[in-house]
Chains A and B, each alone.
Chain A
Amino acid sequence: MSNTVLFAILLLAPLIGFLFNGLRWKSHNAYLAGTVATVAAGISFLCSVVLVSKLFGEGAVPAVSAKFYEWMAIGGFNVTAGFVIDHISAIMVLVVTGVGTLIHLFSIGYMSHDERPSKYFAYLNLFLFNMLLLILGENLLLMFVGWEGVGLCSYLLIGFWFSDSEKAAAGMKAFITNRIGDAGFLLGIFTIFFLFGTVNFQEIIGRVSGVPDLTWTGPVTLACLFLFIGATGKSAQIPLYVWLPDAMAGPTPVSALIHAATMVTAGVYMICRLNPLFLMAPNVLNVIAIIGAATAVMAATIGLTQWDIKKVLAYSTVSQLGYMFLACGVGAFGAAMFHLMTHAFFKALMFLGSGSVIHAMEGEQDIRKMGHLKKYLPITHATFFIGWVAIIGMPPFAGFFSKDEILWKAFTSPHGHILLWLAGVIGAVCTAFYMTRLMALTFWGKSRVPESVHPHESPPSMSIPLIILAVLSVVGGWIGIPHALGAILPGHPGNWLEHWLHGVILEPAAHGAHPSATLELALMGVSVSLAALSALLAYNFYVTNPERPAQFVSKIRGLYELVYNKYFVDEFYFARIINPLIDASKGMWAYIDVNFIDKTTYAVSDVVRGMGSAAKSFQNGNLQQYAMYIALGVAVTMFLILR
């Protein structure tokens, strides 16, 4: 079939799913709604596979695209609703549709006894459709439409159980912070249009001038800065990350899909898509790198002190995203994409795992009330174990290859810096610690499960996706084995991903000698061993002698309180930004609105009423006066005409 038809089916399947479920939102039949939604996601996955297959093989074509209609044509500026799959978006589309389908499958089981299942699946499908728009859009405007769409769906899904006001507030918070980010993204689009006169990715990349913009206020820097602000909003980086942990209020599959695999990576994807532009703004790259590293470390430390299973995973996501931005900041866009993919697999796996745990524990999310669940949930425990190993970065698993690639690029890239590498390693250490802590408290150790709860294994529809994701977490890393490692492994597997992205992602000009392979192996060894040590420490803390954490915490009470309360960032925002804003507007209202605006409107209405009463005296019923007015009128008009 021709590309256009394929693209159409790819895009329209989730939309039709959304409409079908949306129109039947009152029905309680979860299985019907679920199957329809999953089938829709599956169809779009198949189409994306077929389309991506066209990029391989002998008739390989760099990009597959389809143009549907002329969206906007205003003078020189014309935007067509066209979609394209090139090497970068191929990865993204496969990840999004693949993981999306699995999560849809998982949700059938998870949402089976919810009272509004078809509404949930409708939102899910709508999210998928918007995500596809964002990924496949051939110009920034379509991306922006998708960008807003996913923001909307995340709001709808977070606040799905809106009856609970706290969950609804979380939805609002997510949506508002996203909107702030989107504003930056929009300004970025404007500056790009101002700069290049077009919003189409190919044309932008074509028109990027080779000379880097070293100033802080140059147009390219400003554009990249604004785009980065947009990215931080969407991908929860330092200033605008506060919404992600609260977004856990939504159903777990939602957290898995949106707040782990797909939506939050949109910011990274956008930066990688425009990497030639960002390379021209070294200052912005430094900023990205620093913020990325800082987020990674900060989020990781907060993760250490959380007791809610989903909160821990949320902070781990924030820190992993920090890693991806760190990679972008140092110019290793390929590594960022690679980590994005692997992270999607194991993070989705762990979220779904936590989902099935919560499902088993009838909604209990506090890990202090869990423990020794491996006996009751064997499959979940096995898959969770694989995910844990992958995220810590143990060699054969996906996490190791992508994270080490980032650390290596942070160390050697011209934009990289030793401190950035150090931050990355610290982050890795903390990640290892809190992930092991999580594994220990939920699955190993003695069971703290209350009697009323007797956990049971989740049904096959939930466990199958877990198994598939576990396999992917293992296999995912092998497509990007670094050269240094490849050389010593039997069969010398080359770095396929680097070769795949070579055409599209530009490597920063590597000045100075090509770093030696041994240095890379050495650094790899350092990070892996440190991670392993912290994992053992955590195991010791929480399994062998459970009371050690308490003693350790009592020693560093002040620091622990600080970290436990998430560095008081939320409180800071309220105190310094939100409340002053509200007070200022109240003041403005009291002073300006009441005095000036109301007064003027009343003045106008009084004038009109005055004139009205003046005119009223004309209609007093005296017929002869009317005759007089007519005569007067005639006289005046005659006078005017004949003058």
Chain B
Amino acid sequence: MLTSTDFLFYVLAFISVFFGAAVVIARNPIYSAMSLVITMISVAFLFGALDAWFLAGVQLIVYAGAVTVLFVMVLMLFDLKHEMKTFSKGLLGNGVKLIASGVTLGMLLVYIWSTYATEPTFKPLPPAATSSIKATKDLATSLFTDYIFAFEAIGALLLIIAVGAVTLSRITGGTHHADS
């Protein structure tokens, strides 16, 4: 019988696919940004459905709360009147691109169906092994034992990106000639 979790999955899946498509199709980039936010939130809840609560929180904070804010802010920076005109829906007609992605999608779905759907072991969602706090702690310990190098690399990367972004923004010819 359709349990609450299944119903939940289908609702969230529908939301994320619907608003995912909206991101691609929306004429006004601001609308696509907003639909991106909604997709992020639904993906966060999907993580929740998979009992990865800490990741759901992080997704909300990082993606929904920071990255998309940046997108919206940058979009507000550009005057979108011009953007609207160059909307590239016209290019949608470009058949090859569609065919390629269609074939890929078809292949992916068939592949997944052939390997996982028929696999009984993956069918029912196994019960959550540990409490979500315990799961988060396992995540943290493994982050600091197995992936310590990656962790340090990420630190260095973020530093570099920070420096890079600032210097990039410093390039002359600012938006307002006054404050360039």
Contact = CB atoms under 8 A, between A and B. Distances in A.
- The answer to whether A and B touch in the complex, with CB atoms under 8 Å apart, is yes
Contact of A628 (B100, B107, B108, B111): B100
A638 B101 CA distance: 11
A632 interface: yes
Residue among B96, B99, B104 with the highest chain A CB neighbour number at 10 A: B104
Contacts of B100: 628, 631-632, 634-635
A635 B110 contact: no
B107 A632 contact: no
A628 B104 contact: no
B159 to A, nearest CB: 28
A631 to B, nearest CB: 4
Interface residues of A, number: 10
Contacts of A636: 103
Contacts of A628: 94, 96-97, 100
A602 interface: no
Interface residues of B, number: 13
B104 A631 contact: yes
A519 to B, nearest CB: 108
Given A635-B103, A635-B104, A642 B110 contact: yes
B101 A639 contact: no
B127 to A, nearest CB: 33
Contacts of A632: 96, 100
Residue among A636, A638, A639 with the highest chain B CB neighbour number at 10 A: A638
A636 B104 CA distance: 8
Contacts of B94: 628
Contact of A638 (B97, B99, B111): B111
Contacts of B96: 628, 632
A588 B114 CA distance: 68
A636 B108 CA distance: 12
Interface of A: 624, 628, 631-632, 634-636, 638-639, 642
27 contacts: A624-B97, A628-B94, A628-B96, A628-B97, A628-B100, A631-B100, A631-B101, A631-B104, A632-B96, A632-B100, A634-B100, A634-B104, A635-B100, A635-B101, A635-B104, A635-B107, A636-B103, A638-B103, A638-B104, A638-B108, A638-B111, A639-B103, A639-B107, A642-B107, A642-B110, A642-B111, A642-B114
Given A628-B100, A635-B103, A639-B107, 19 more contacts: A624-B97, A628-B96, A631-B97, A631-B101, A632-B96, A632-B100, A634-B100, A634-B104, A635-B99, A635-B100, A635-B101, A635-B104, A635-B107, A636-B103, A639-B103, A642-B107, A642-B110, A642-B111, A642-B114
